[in-house]
Structure 1
Amino acid sequence: MADPFHALADPTRRSLLDRLYAGGGLTLRKMCDGLPISRQAVSKHIRVLEEAELVVVVPRGREKLHYLNPVPLAKIAHRWIGKFEDVRIDALADLRD
């Protein structure tokens, strides 16, 4: 598994993830629409996202559909952001008491 932080560091890959979030099940052709880079470049970015397990590819006939996999993002949020939320929740509980 590749590092999800490395995969998320690139703005083009974040843009691709935004597209998948807005409408999952996109083909490579649909993901390329409106981007200023080649189809091959998009394919390479998708491969990095797949290796980081941020994208899941499901074959459908001759096409491949790409879906956002939110699990690694949830793990990141829980590990890096969740501990700060716990402090806020504890502070609110203390305030209530």
Structure 2
Amino acid sequence: MQELATLVRPASPTENTMVKLAGNALNWLHTCMQILEEHYLENLGHLTKKLENIHLSNWPEAFQVDTREDHCRTTPGPVPEGVASSEADISPRKPGTNTER
């Protein structure tokens, strides 16, 4: 945030100007976060619907392979709650069940 606040360099800035620049940087960061959140939530929803239409009889095995690979790439590895949540998100749903999370 501090880097954004220093991008605009007025000559002899007053304290009021510096406060406005810092506020502008915070606003910009907040707006970017909203845009990214909306973008990823829309894409996740779209991809989840695609997954619901795919019939995978062995999806639990494939999911375990993916989480093992993820564990090898990251430290400390997948969080158990995250794994359970992801499994619930991609598990086949019965017709008529609520798809909202």
TM-score for both structures, normalised by structure 1: 0.30
Of Structure 1 and Structure 2, which has the larger fraction of its residues in helix?
A: 2
TM-score for both structures, normalised by structure 2: 0.29
Question: Which protein has greater RCO, CA pairs closer than 8 Å, 6+ apart?
Answer: 1
The structure that has the greater radius of gyration is 2
Of Structure 1 and Structure 2, which has the larger fraction of its residues in strand?
A: 1
